[in-house]
Amino acid sequence: MKTTVQVQTAKRVPIFAVYVSERAIERAVATLRSGYIGDGPVVREFEAQVAQFTQARHAVAVNSGTSALSLALALAGVGPDDEVVTTAQTFVATSHVILARGARPVYADVQYLTGNIDPGDIPRRITSRTKAILPVHWAGYPCDMDEILAVADQRGLPVIEDAAQALGATYHGRPIGSLPTVACFSFQAVKQLTTVDGGMLCTQDDDAAESARRRRWFGIDRAKRRPTLLGEPAWDITEPGYKYHMNDVAAALGTAHMDELSTIHARLGQIDARYRDALADVPGLTLFDAAPDREGAFFTFCVHVERRDDFAHAVRSRGVDASVVHLRIDTNTVFGPLRTDLPQLDRLTETMICLPLHYRLTDDDVDDVIDAVRTGW
């Protein structure tokens, strides 16, 4: 007699999950079959959608969020021995792009209850070498942009927003992407909207946008390119360029997902609200800020907890992934010595942890996350 052994694989609620819709797959396949897969009409369509959604005057598509940041720093003229005032509470990409230009990241402290740069700590970090201010909307929750822009205005510095996690966020009723800055979005695999890999540089400045469009593709203005008899278009390249452009296959995924972005954002907001409601009174747990003058993009759900190792162990044993996602990056040798003058970041590094918040979560998953935390640690 044959016996079958039922292997019960325990359910897990993952910290992140990729969301690619069937429509997006169909559109990408149609693009692959179209005979044109480079930077073309689908990228233009995707740019128009993102510009409309973010109310940016210009949206320039590139092949990653990192490329968008890198291009933004180039546009700001950041070069060797310059300094950029930024935050260490982010992914390493935010500071790597500064090093790549031969410049140095200078870290301002963060706010314990948002993880975002503290505008009050920026002025004392500014020197004669400072060329830009680079805040990050941690977990997609908007920074204090009025205060940051006031410091920037006063010191004549441009602001580059690392909005990699912030697509869909609003500040004082205006979408992130529409402020007088250069805002850089990411469409990497687990971001709220994915193109597999991709990014967008949003700006209100006509000259910056025109330069970005040239420089993302070797400094060549494709729109002004004219064919010649012998095939090689005539051009004169006047500034350093890169291979940062987006392709139509990635943009096909982007256009289909843009049609769903409002639905995705609303669902993420609903899960966030449920967590905030259900976890507000949990002893030993502190929620992050949610001010009425702004709305996050809900990239993940960060909280502060006492005895973090015990917390992580307890919720994981109940099938729920908890993760710090990213901790301070100045611990990496390449970014210089570990800073000792960031007391709020020190505090945050000891207690922050994130819970799953993404579009693939079912209502049951959300209940499981809440139960896993409320059971205690």
Please list the active-site residues.
Answer: 191
Among 19, 91, 171, 288, binds ligand PLP (CB under 6 A): 91
- Asked if 98 touches ligand PLP (CB under 6 A), the answer is no
**Tokens 């230009």, residue?**
101
Q: How many residues bind ligand PLP (CB under 6 A)?
A: 15
- Asked if 86 touches ligand PLP (CB under 6 A), the answer is no
**Tokens 């697509």, residue?**
167
8-state DSSP, 116: S
Nearest CB to ligand PLP, comparing residues 115 and 175: 115
Question: 36 in helix, strand or coil?
Answer: coil
Q: Evaluate whether 275 touches 369 at the Cβ level (below 8 Å).
A: yes
Between 166 and 205, how does the x/- string for binding to ligand PLP read (CB under 6 A)? --------------------x-x--------x-x------
Give the C-alpha separation, 340 to 285, whole Å: 26
Tell me the CB-side half-sphere exposure of residue 284, using CA atoms within 13 A.
13
Among 90, 111, 192, 255, binds ligand PLP (CB under 6 A): 90
- Asked if 66 touches ligand PLP (CB under 6 A), the answer is yes
Residue 163: CB minimum distance to ligand PLP, A: 8
**Tokens 């609200």, residue?**
273
- Asked if 162 touches ligand PLP (CB under 6 A), the answer is yes
The answer for 309, left when phi > 0, alpha when psi is -120 to 50, beta otherwise, is alpha
Residue 2: CB minimum distance to ligand PLP, A: 49
Give the C-alpha separation, 186 to 177, whole Å: 12
Interface stretch with ligand PLP, choices 35-43, 62-70, 116-124, 231-239 (CB under 6 A): 62-70
Question: 133 in helix, strand or coil?
Answer: strand
Nearest CB to ligand PLP, comparing residues 359 and 377: 359
Tell me the CB-side half-sphere exposure of residue 203, using CA atoms within 13 A.
23
Interface stretch with ligand PLP, choices 60-68, 201-209, 226-234, 367-375 (CB under 6 A): 60-68
- Asked if 165 touches ligand PLP (CB under 6 A), the answer is yes
Instruction: Tell me the residue nearest to ligand PLP as measured from the CB.
Output: 65
Q: Evaluate whether 176 touches 142 at the Cβ level (below 8 Å).
A: yes
Between 24 and 43, how does the x/- string for binding to ligand PLP read (CB under 6 A)? --------------------
**Tokens 């420089």, residue?**
215
Question: 343 in helix, strand or coil?
Answer: helix
- Asked if 161 touches ligand PLP (CB under 6 A), the answer is no
Residue 138: CB minimum distance to ligand PLP, A: 7
Burial label for 301, CB within 10 Å (0-12, 13-18, 19+), is: buried
Q: Which residues contact ligand PLP by CB under 6 A?
A: 64-66, 90-91, 93-94, 136, 162, 164-165, 186, 188, 197, 199
